Structure 1
């Protein structure tokens, strides 16, 4: 090969390699210090806005939606027997809250759509840039591990994770550097949260199987293999003692629960990811433990006890202050595990309008799973045609309960906030109910509403 061609060829190969790695996402850890947020990700084919057809743009979605137009589009799918005996749909123009469809039947058991309200409460009270600190303080010859309510505190740092930014191994290394080989005892402080760590409104068998007792101190969200720890704070403290000993600190005895005295000296600390990233992740994954921690963090930020009751009170206040309808709202937790929770479809739909209009709440919208592409909707909408990728929604599922709340983009480009809830489906195959809900939202996405 002629020498004059070598350098240009190397440049082309390098550029092609960089482009390939960028599209694959392999450069994310360099560009974004972890997986890039939604605003930096190249949209999948189904999410890319189609090139506008001038003729279609002139006739579809450009005018006001007439009364009953969207209701007519979903009338057939809403009559499906698979939705059971009680269903509600409320759809609002996401830009101004105009009612486009209202087929509501009071407040429903919301299941995990409750997490939308929890996220809004936390962001409203704390702000998207809030972080949570796990620290170690010294009180004489005793070290105390202080839980700061970091929901994603991990055992060891997870490389590339946008949310697991603080870990016990790093904290132990920083502590050992200050303490050396001195002999110390170890305590752990979980006084940040108050009230019961397990909701009395949860069903028997939940704790240890689908949720851990709520604590401001745990590692890996209280998970132990496929199960959950029943003593997440104690387990975290015992693991921290192991990590300290491995670094030469002479830790005596077993860790004991203790409260930090006012004159204790901080030795080391690690800080969580920003709340905006935490919200995006926990909504996409529908994480129960994270939801309960954030409910308490919202309560504490508002000056209320860090408890189930304190968090529920603050979330209700945040919604009312935003002008969201709270009629019939009853909250016993932040995750939606309780069957005693009640939320009206209008409350969820109006909340999504508020989210769309408020930059402080933006991570709620960006964290919603995308139909056919991500989170709890990744394996749904595979036969939705052009609607695939135009439905973003939080799912909610318990036995006999199915719901969706989010934003759907109509075929003409109009964003519509909606909530669709069914809580009387015990006698129906859950996959049939799920498919029936999806057909309703696809009918909205396909609606030629606003045609001139």
Structure 2
């Protein structure tokens, strides 16, 4: 009986390991690739040595690649305005340039936000939420931690800081007697809501941007319209539960005095991975402001947009026609060319500081917004790692695709005139273009 019990226990542990349920214990969050057995199909990203030798290691033939995608690009399902730019990820050479100028990028905008914030802060940066005491007043100071939560989460790699822990630490140093509670959101400035967003977005698909919120401003299925005040009220409740006599309602103020308690976010690298995998609008807007602040600009939509343009230009990325109104891509007034996105992804692939962008991208047939796309072998399953972008009439993909033989190509595929086409039909047409790239040997 004992041997059977041991076997069952070992089998259960093995199942939990494969599923990743033991990651928080083994790796303090998601385990690195060296600890993960790739799922069946994903391992095809590492080419067979004989196949690679047969294909050759010379330059990728852009003419062959262009010919491979010519048919799929003519699909009527892509509407009247489509761009494809492909760049050799190894040397930055433009292989295919079927660009049609700057287009509506939707959530592929988040790639540029990620580049800007990682370039500014580096992957190990953390953001601090603090409490300051000034006489009989405590002030909760927002530090721009996009994943600050109400209570500690188990197994999350990004929800590291929480109000409950901060309240417990504050209660130990708050002393006796009543206190009032304020909250400081002065880290960011400018409008909390982009004037370039559609009416109805706030409260449904995005919360007002704030350096202080809990659970990304989520309230049930909707969003808070005043996330900082909601966070402060919750903090007051947590303090009272720990014996601190908080009088009155929290009020917005500016902090002054001595810091008595802090909590710190997850490393920026993990934050970037998570927000790209989830395509999180709220996190994107906070990170855009963090990039601006680190670069010496105002923590605003405009400050962030300026830093994105500067970072790309300094990296040698073509920014012709670039217009940024937000960090999430919700604005239909944003304009980014396929060339900008493709060259940015080539820069990402060659810059270790930006590595968490690649590791956070959904993988075709396996994860995130690409989990249910490219699901069959032979259709780029496991060979495309990309950020999606979708608005009404707008579809985009940008990332890396591995060609036959194992050579990586950075690409951006954009179509923003498809309002009269079933979106699933357009999505399938986009996938056929990328699958055609993955099938191309494209070189001697």
Q: TM-score range by the shorter chain?
A: over 0.9
The structure-2 alpha-carbon separation of the partners of 1:166 and 1:16, relative to structure 1 and needing over 3 Å to count, comes to same
Structure 2 match to 1:140: 135
Q: Establish whether residue 112 from structure 1 lines up as the match of residue 107 from structure 2.
A: yes
Structure 1 match to 2:349: 356
Instruction: After superposing the two structures, state which structure 1 stretch, 32-41 or 207-216, moved more.
Output: 32-41
The structure-2 alpha-carbon separation of the partners of 1:50 and 1:426, relative to structure 1 and needing over 3 Å to count, comes to closer
Q: Is the 8 A contact 2:146 2:282 kept in 1?
A: yes
Distance 1:254 1:51 in 2: 58
Structure 1 match to 2:404: 411
The structure-2 alpha-carbon separation of the partners of 1:51 and 1:417, relative to structure 1 and needing over 3 Å to count, comes to closer
TM-score (norm 1): 0.94
The structure-2 alpha-carbon separation of the partners of 1:205 and 1:37, relative to structure 1 and needing over 3 Å to count, comes to farther
- Specify which of 240, 258, 264 is matched with residue 253 of structure 2: 258
Q: Establish whether residue 160 from structure 1 lines up as the match of residue 142 from structure 2.
A: no
Distance 1:379 1:52 in 2: 24
Structure 2 match to 1:217: 212
Q: Is the 8 A contact 2:292 2:299 kept in 1?
A: yes
Q: Return the offset for 1:53.
A: 5.4
The structure-2 alpha-carbon separation of the partners of 1:406 and 1:162, relative to structure 1 and needing over 3 Å to count, comes to same
Distance 1:347 1:199 in 2: 23
Q: Return the offset for 1:58.
A: 3.6
Q: Is the 8 A contact 1:34 1:159 kept in 2?
A: no
What are the equivalent positions in structure 2 for 1:241-280 lying under 5 Å apart? 241-261=236-256, 264-280=257-273
Deviations 1:400-436 (A, max 9, x none): 1100000000111000000000001111111111111
Distance 2:62 2:308 in 1: 33
- Specify which of 325, 328, 340 is matched with residue 335 of structure 1: 328
Q: Which blocks of at least 5 consecutive residues in structure 2 are unaligned?
A: none
Distance 1:132 1:51 in 2: 36
Distance 1:363 1:395 in 2: 17
Secondary structure, aligned partner of 1:385: coil
Q: Return the offset for 1:63.
A: 3.4
Q: Is the 8 A contact 2:45 2:382 kept in 1?
A: no
- Specify which of 275, 282, 292 is matched with residue 299 of structure 1: 292
Q: Is the 8 A contact 1:190 1:215 kept in 2?
A: yes
What are the equivalent positions in structure 2 for 1:283-322 lying under 5 Å apart? 283-322=276-315
What are the equivalent positions in structure 2 for 1:36-435 lying under 5 Å apart? 36-49=31-44, 56-261=51-256, 264-383=257-376, 385=378, 387-435=380-428
Q: CA RMSD in A?
A: 1.9
Q: Is the 8 A contact 1:348 1:418 kept in 2?
A: yes
Q: Return the offset for 1:14.
A: 6.9
TM-score (norm 2): 0.96
Q: Return the offset for 1:102.
A: 1.0
Q: Is the 8 A contact 1:38 1:366 kept in 2?
A: no
The structure-2 alpha-carbon separation of the partners of 1:17 and 1:228, relative to structure 1 and needing over 3 Å to count, comes to closer
Q: Is the 8 A contact 1:172 1:243 kept in 2?
A: yes
Q: Is the 8 A contact 2:321 2:335 kept in 1?
A: yes
Structure 2 match to 1:439: 432
Deviations 1:222-270 (A, max 9, x none): 0001100000000000000011111111000000000012xx0111110
Distance 2:386 2:49 in 1: 30
Distance 2:389 2:376 in 1: 21
Q: Is the 8 A contact 1:115 1:335 kept in 2?
A: yes
Secondary structure, aligned partner of 2:250: strand
Distance 1:281 1:226 in 2: 20
Q: Is the 8 A contact 2:86 2:411 kept in 1?
A: yes
The structure-2 alpha-carbon separation of the partners of 1:389 and 1:53, relative to structure 1 and needing over 3 Å to count, comes to closer
Distance 1:194 1:278 in 2: 22
- What is the total number of aligned residue pairs between the two structures? 444
Q: Return the offset for 1:34.
A: 2.5
Q: Which blocks of at least 5 consecutive residues in structure 1 are unaligned?
A: none
Q: Return the offset for 1:57.
A: 3.4
Distance 2:244 2:195 in 1: 41
Q: Return the offset for 1:56.
A: 3.6
Secondary structure, aligned partner of 2:179: strand
Secondary structure, aligned partner of 1:253: coil
Q: Is the 8 A contact 1:61 1:414 kept in 2?
A: no
The structure-2 alpha-carbon separation of the partners of 1:447 and 1:269, relative to structure 1 and needing over 3 Å to count, comes to same
Distance 1:429 1:206 in 2: 23
Distance 1:189 1:213 in 2: 15
